[in-house]
Amino acid sequence: MKNVTDYFGMNVFNDAKMQERLPKPIYKALRKTIENGDALDITIANVVAHAMKDWAIEMGCTHYTHWFQPMTGVTAEKHDSFISPKGDKVIMEFSGKELIKGEPDASSFPSGGIRATFEARGYTTWDPTSPAFVRDKTLYIPTAFCSYTGEVLDKKTPLLRSMERLSTEAVKVLHLLGKTDVKRVTTTVGPEQEYFLIDKEMYDKRPDLIYTGRTLFGAMAPKGQELDDHYFGSIKSRVSAYMHDLDEELWKLGVFAKTKHNEVAPSQHELAPVFTTSNIATDHNELCMEVMKKTAEKHGLVCLLHEKPFAGVNGSGKHNNWSISTDTGENLLNPTKHPEDNLQFQLFLSAVVKAVDEYQDLLRITVASAGNDHRLGANEAPPAIISMYLGDDLGALVESIIEGKDYKSHKAARMETGVEALPDFKKDNSDRNRTSPFAFTGNKFEFRALGSSLNIACPNYMLNTMVAEQLKQFYDELKDASDVESAVKGLIKKALTEHNRIIFNGDNYSEEWVQEAEKRGLCNYKSLPDAMEHYIDKKNVDLFASNGIVTEEEMHARYEIELEQYSKLLNIEALSMLDMAKKDIAPAVISFVKELSEGVAVKKKISYKLSTYAEEKTLESLSKKLENFSKKTNELEEALAETDKYTDNLSLAKYYRNTVFSIMGELREIGDSMEKETSSEYWPYPSYGKILFGV
């Protein structure tokens, strides 16, 4: 197995295998379902199931599983074997019904109170648009997940629905503009994934990493990322071996893993695939995160996907590159050579601008998580304020449209290297403003506020739905116009004028922007509870309900689930801190203090002339800190005892954020300053230095 082209997709029941293994009419019917969303007949499913099973068995499989994405934020699977008893023997069977429908017990998945437990049956339904694959001797079938009573319980269903919605509305608009050959429009996504890679031995010694995925204590090492020497730095051999293995695994699974490099923080890296449809990109990103973790195990490493595993260095995020293209092969967000004459591009651009402005709160909400709260607003990730960057060229175009002036293109400048032997080339006109949360980058938008562990289905179904809604409104306004061209121009001008406030080309990390954004009336929700509160605002409920993505009831369920998860996570973090503080850190410092005191006593016995200055200095400082540490530990314990008082999820989440989380920060500060003074022989955990520079 040397050639990537030979083994790429070998573990996937992909198009080539379907074509090879299915009778022609069956293959054609299945393609129709995949391409146009046509309903699938059970007789066809039976034949597909049979072929899938035969292939899976040839690949060494004994089991199959419906693979789904419940609201827990991680994927779920329940394995069934293919065996079916025949007398005292077995045969291997797999029916169309088993392919189409699964019935995992749904009672233990978060439902936000939608179902009474006695109705806890859930159904998984085959998603034929995302190919089945083989892992660990098991056939994985991507599925959607809903409750017995039909409510959506997962992240995939709303995504699929939103893709349909956007397609329907975009096609209507395109037909109005004369593109009548377009039958379908798809959204595409390329998610760049950041991660940390640390030594397994170090990891095993850190209960905080084990329980919460991030370090709850840990003094900064003498060196961090200030030299920028890790970013794009040469990749160490151990990491490189891991990355090779990872690429190979992903390629076998049909994932278009493309780019890899070292990121800003020590031990931090990134992987980016080539983009594909939103649905497959989502499944592939989930798969990618799992394979990243599994592959690390083989190399004695641990892959951390938490948004902020280490304080003091950058955390990890995900960049969601998003665009819309037609089945005729046109990217609708491609400005082309002359965007000033391209009304179609301008119209789609306006739809996105209007959508992002009207639903900026939703975009903020969709990236809110306990982990991401550590990043947004710090100088490493975009702020909690959503705005858009269009770049010089498009910025000037929008300005000219609003002001009714002529547009002067910033002609793509040539990059002159000044060295005869090096070729000159055209400079990229699009964004190099890395501080914007939502930037236009050539022919796509890059949503940069996502946390590294997020399931990208959510931001994408929100994006798709909010843009579909704008296109629907545009269509309604344009459909009866006698002069479509001038109506389109009027509409573009109106939309850009009214929503210009969301466009910001400056430094998003600056304090001035925070003030400016407030003047513009943009939202600035600093934490998950602050943001989540607005999820169920009427305009947001109306958006999803009227577009048939999720119902009001399902939104309320999602709202409860998110808030509840948040409080639970913070509770686990607080309990882990208490455990570490009481069982490891305080005893370690007490022992060290004891040794110092005994040292002083011994010296004094030998001769009163011996200096005990160093010991006493440290003793004095650590004793004081130990006292404060102990008091803070009690305070945290007392704060946790108060949580019973809160009966609704929102006020409980706010209490965790405003009170518990603050005390945790204070406790950590004292702990970290003790670490700096305590002998490393005594300190119970590997230091940041050992972890971050160890691999």
**Contacting positions for ligand ADP (CB under 6 A):** 188-190, 192, 259, 272-275, 319, 321-323, 331, 443-444, 446
Find the shortest distance in angstroms from Cβ 412 to ligand ADP: 17
Find the shortest distance in angstroms from Cβ 179 to ligand ADP: 18
Q: How remote is the C-alpha of 601 from its chain's centroid?
A: 57
454 binds, among ligand ADP, Mg ion, none (CB under 5 to 8 A by kind): none
Q: Closer to Mg ion at the Cβ: 152 or 450?
A: 450
How does 602-625 read in b/e, with b if 16+ C-beta sit within 10 Å? eeeeeeeeeebeebeebbeebeeb
Find the shortest distance in angstroms from Cβ 444 to ligand ADP: 4
Q: Give the span between the Cα atoms of 156 and 68, in whole angstroms.
A: 8
Find the shortest distance in angstroms from Cβ 158 to Mg ion: 25
Which residues bind to Mg ion, rule: CB under 5 A?
192, 319
DSSP 8-state code for residue 111: -
Q: Give the span between the Cα atoms of 236 and 33, in whole angstroms.
A: 46
Find the shortest distance in angstroms from Cβ 190 to Mg ion: 9
Q: Closer to ligand ADP at the Cβ: 259 or 658?
A: 259
For the chain, how far is it from start to end, CA to CA, in angstroms? 29
Nearest to 275 by CA among 460, 436, 452: 460
Ramachandran assignment for 508, one of left (phi > 0), alpha (psi -120 to 50 degrees), beta (any other): alpha
Residue with nearest beta carbon to ligand ADP: 190
**Please, which residues bridge with residue 388 across strands?**
438, 503
Q: Closer to ligand ADP at the Cβ: 142 or 190?
A: 190
Find the shortest distance in angstroms from Cβ 227 to ligand ADP: 21
Q: Closer to ligand ADP at the Cβ: 124 or 433?
A: 433
Residue with nearest beta carbon to Mg ion: 319
Find the shortest distance in angstroms from Cβ 454 to Mg ion: 15
Q: Which two tokens mark 270?
A: 């990134």
Q: Which two tokens mark 588?
A: 């370690």
Q: Closer to ligand ADP at the Cβ: 342 or 621?
A: 342
Q: Are 557 and 535 in contact (CB under 8 A)?
A: no
C-alpha radius of gyration, the chain, whole number: 28
Helices (H) and strands (E) in the chain, counts: 24, 19
111 binds, among Mg ion, ligand ADP, none (CB under 5 to 8 A by kind): none
Q: Which two tokens mark 620?
A: 């004095």
Q: Please count the other Cβ atoms lying within 10 Å of the Cβ belonging to residue 634.
A: 11
Q: Closer to ligand ADP at the Cβ: 160 or 219?
A: 160
323 binds, among ligand ADP, Mg ion, none (CB under 5 to 8 A by kind): ligand ADP
Find the shortest distance in angstroms from Cβ 192 to Mg ion: 5
Q: Closer to Mg ion at the Cβ: 94 or 447?
A: 447
259 binds, among Mg ion, ligand ADP, none (CB under 5 to 8 A by kind): ligand ADP
- φ/ψ of 65, rounded to 5, equals -145, 140
331 binds, among Mg ion, ligand ADP, none (CB under 5 to 8 A by kind): ligand ADP
Q: Closer to Mg ion at the Cβ: 323 or 633?
A: 323
- φ/ψ of 316, rounded to 5, equals -110, 140
Nearest to 499 by CA among 331, 386, 366: 386
